């Protein structure tokens, strides 16, 4: 699991507003210099809650207003991959709405400075964008909230068609300000957004920003047509379909999110709900089970139990787990009561129903059911057949993040207790999993941490070589591969050098390197494929 950092929802409304106040009023103030202490690459962002504000549109063109929201969307994604904990757009919007403030809230400087003393946001990113000829310039600063220090501005520029890369580059520069010891290469940040079409991304931003529901859906459908693998657009489209009670369409949209998408668990939860609503119970059961294997929270276990029960099976065990996970929720005790009664445990069922009424005395359905259970057997049986377990319809993202944070903290504690070499091996292994899933930024961050723990770990250098090769930095890739080979010969390092030499048409070197790789790992399919490619290109039998 990727690192998920401390989630403090009770503090967010006040701290978000204070962050907005300070960020917007101090943006024009003279910058104060200050550096944060360098941190280990794997935990650089731990405990750092960031708020990226919409960027100011300095172009004077309304058709470029969508970039205001595009900027924080891109920067937030890169900060998350880099190990920080940026607040999401819904968090920011909820906080302002909760306090009755407009999105363009502009406080006075005096009130900002007074309120900032109690601010609990660690850093705020404030920025703007403007046109320069046919190109665009993006500029941003980091506000260190506890010290009220504003960094110097960092800037990235380029052609409009390279907008995503511009903000990726800006995110890398901002990360270096917040953590000067951060060593992930800029090329890796650029690679993270390289496969996303700009027109699809624009449609997505318009789709989450439009006030009209039909317009939102239209833009989001266009986004996924242009970029069928763009998870955030599928997630937003699924939400629109779900809210419109188009449950089959919603289930199909949510199904497009996979393990590499940060919203995968939420998507699986709502896919399960959508499947429940149109009667696909076995599929709903599997959707909830997928979430439950990662985070067995009460609402997940409960809904999995409902899906099982709708198939005529005994789900009592799942309802027991749900009630144990959240014993103060009346609905879980109600469902457990219904399941127990249906499967012949009348006394325990009555006890659970009594507990339901203790927690929610005005629950009329529970009152009627308890009365029916005390009635003659015929009426009792009729009430059993008509009563269905309750579905929990709300996804508590905060609870999911809190649970994930606890799991992550436990894993971090276990890692910290290991000797440096063992910890480096663990980090390198996890980094390779990220790399195999195409998550290059996360992979490089953990490989760098592994090298920091043990600079003589060949696996970490070979992994960095593969990342740098994938991001197009051939010189760094060759350097890391050779460093890995000096420590311990490995097929992975030789494969990187082979691919680099094939690309540069150094076929004699490539032939020698692939032979070394095959000596170390004769069964390697990538090595065998490269061997055949070299033979085809040289006409020599390998």
Angle at 80 between CA 78 and CA 85, to 5 degrees: 135
pLDDT in tens, the chain (542 residues): 333 223 333 333 333 333 333 333 433 333 333 333 233 444 444 457 788 888 989 999 999 999 999 999 999 999 988 988 888 887 777 766 665 656 555 444 333 334 334 446 688 888 999 999 889 999 999 888 777 788 899 999 999 999 999 999 999 999 999 999 898 999 999 999 998 999 999 999 999 999 899 999 999 999 999 999 999 999 999 999 999 999 999 999 999 998 888 889 899 999 999 999 999 999 999 999 999 988 888 999 999 999 999 999 999 999 999 999 999 999 999 999 999 999 999 999 999 999 999 999 999 999 999 999 987 665 455 555 578 999 998 876 666 666 666 766 787 788 888 999 999 999 999 999 999 988 899 999 999 999 999 999 999 999 999 999 999 999 999 999 999 999 999 999 999 999 999 999 999 999 999 999 999 999 999 999 999 999 998 876 65
Could you give the domains of the chain?
9-194 (3.40.50.10070), 197-279 (1.25.40.10), 297-407 (1.25.40.10), 408-538 (1.25.40.10)
pLDDT score for 41: 41
Crossing angle between the packed helical segments 330-342 and 298-310, to the nearest 10 degrees = 30
Query: What CA–CA distance (Å, rounded) separates 206 from 210?
Result: 6
Note the pLDDT tens digit of each residue in 241-291: 999 999 999 999 999 998 888 889 899 999 999 999 999 999 999 999 999
472: left (phi over 0), alpha (psi -120 to 50) or beta: left
The chain-wide mean pLDDT, for the chain, equals 84
329, 320 Cβ separation under 8 angstroms: no
pLDDT score for 33: 30
245: left (phi over 0), alpha (psi -120 to 50) or beta: left
SS (H, E, C) 403-449: HHHHHHHHHHHHHHCCCHHHHHHHHHHHHHHHHHCCCHHHHHHHHHH
pLDDT score for 52: 86
Query: What CA–CA distance (Å, rounded) separates 268 from 316?
Result: 22
pLDDT score for 380: 52
Query: What CA–CA distance (Å, rounded) separates 359 from 336?
Result: 14
DSSP code for 488: S
Helix (H, G, I), strand (E, B) or coil at 6: coil
Query: What CA–CA distance (Å, rounded) separates 231 from 229?
Result: 6
Note the pLDDT tens digit of each residue in 332-344: 999 999 999 999 9
Burial (0-12, 13-18, 19+ Cβ within 10 Å), 228: exposed
pLDDT score for 401: 65
Query: What CA–CA distance (Å, rounded) separates 30 from 138?
Result: 19
Q: Which sign does the torsion angle of CA 495, 501, 502, 506 carry? A: negative
Pairing of strands 135-144, 154-159: antiparallel
DSSP code for 371: H
Query: What CA–CA distance (Å, rounded) separates 224 from 229?
Result: 7
pLDDT score for 403: 66
Backbone phi, psi, residue 150, to 5°: -100, 130
Query: What CA–CA distance (Å, rounded) separates 189 from 164?
Result: 10
Start-to-end CA distance of the chain, whole Å, equals 41
């Amino acid at each position: 699991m990727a690192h998920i950092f401390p989630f403090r929802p009770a503090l967010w409304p006040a701290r978000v507003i204070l962050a907005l106040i300070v960020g917007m009023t101090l943006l024009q103030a003279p910058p104060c210099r200050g550096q944060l202490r360098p941190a280990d690459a794997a935990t650089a962002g731990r405990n750092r809650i960031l708020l990226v504000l919409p960027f100011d549109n300095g172009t004077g063109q309304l058709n470029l207003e969508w970039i205001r929201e595009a900027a924080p969307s891109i920067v937030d994604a890169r900060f998350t991959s880099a190990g920080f904990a940026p607040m999401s757009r819904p968090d920011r919007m909820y906080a302002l709405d909760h306090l009755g403030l407009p999105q363009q809230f502009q406080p006075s400087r005096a009130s900002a400075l007074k309120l900032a003393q109690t601010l609990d946001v660690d850093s705020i990113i404030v920025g703007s964008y403007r046109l320069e000829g046919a190109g665009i310039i993006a500029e941003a600063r980091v506000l260190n909230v506890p010290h009220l220090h504003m960094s110097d501005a960092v800037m990235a520029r380029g052609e409009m068609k390279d907008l995503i890369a511009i903000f990726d580059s800006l995110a890398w520069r901002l990360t270096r300000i917040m953590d000067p010891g951060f060593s992930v290469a800029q090329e890796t940040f650029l690679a993270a957004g390289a496969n996303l079409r700009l027109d699809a991304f624009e449609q997505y931003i318009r789709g989450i920003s439009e006030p009209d529901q039909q317009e939102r859906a239209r833009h989001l459908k266009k986004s996924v047509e242009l970029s069928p693998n763009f998870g955030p657009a599928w997630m937003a489209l699924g939400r629109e379909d779900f809210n419109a009670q188009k449950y089959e369409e919603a289930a199909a949209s949510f199904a497009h999110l996979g393990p590499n998408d940060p919203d995968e668990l939420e998507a699986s939860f709502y896919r399960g709900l959508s499947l429940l609503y149109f009667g696909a119970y076995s599929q709903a059961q599997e959707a909830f089970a997928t979430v439950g294997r990662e985070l067995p929270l009460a609402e997940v276990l409960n809904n999995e139990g409902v899906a099982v029960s709708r198939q005529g099976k005994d789900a009592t065990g799942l309802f027991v787990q749900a009630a144990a996970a959240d014993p103060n929720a009346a609905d879980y005790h109600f469902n457990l009561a219904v399941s127990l009664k249906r499967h012949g445990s009348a006394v325990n069922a009555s006890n659970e129903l009594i507990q339901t009424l203790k927690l929610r005395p005005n629950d009329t359905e529970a009152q009627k059911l308890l009365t029916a259970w005390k009635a003659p057997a015929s009426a009792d049986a009729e009430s059993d057949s008509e009563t269905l377990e309750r579905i929990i319809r709300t996804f508590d993202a905060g609870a999911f993040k809190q649970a994930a944070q606890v799991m992550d903290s436990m894993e971090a504690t276990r890692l910290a207790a290991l000797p440096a070499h063992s910890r480096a091996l663990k980090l390198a292994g996890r980094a390779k999993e990220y790399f195999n899933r195409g998550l290059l930024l996360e992979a490089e961050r953990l490989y760098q941490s592994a090298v920091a723990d043990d600079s003589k770990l060949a696996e970490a250098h070979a992994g960095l070589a593969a990342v740098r090769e994938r991001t197009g930095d051939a010189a760094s890739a060759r350097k890391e591969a050779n460093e890995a080979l000096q420590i311990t010969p490995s097929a992975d390092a030789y494969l990187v050098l082979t691919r680099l030499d094939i690309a540069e048409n150094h076929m004699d070197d490539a032939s020698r390197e692939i032979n070394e790789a095959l000596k170390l790992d004769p069964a390697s399919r990538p090595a065998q494929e490269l061997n055949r490619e070299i033979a085809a290109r040289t006409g020599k039998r390998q």
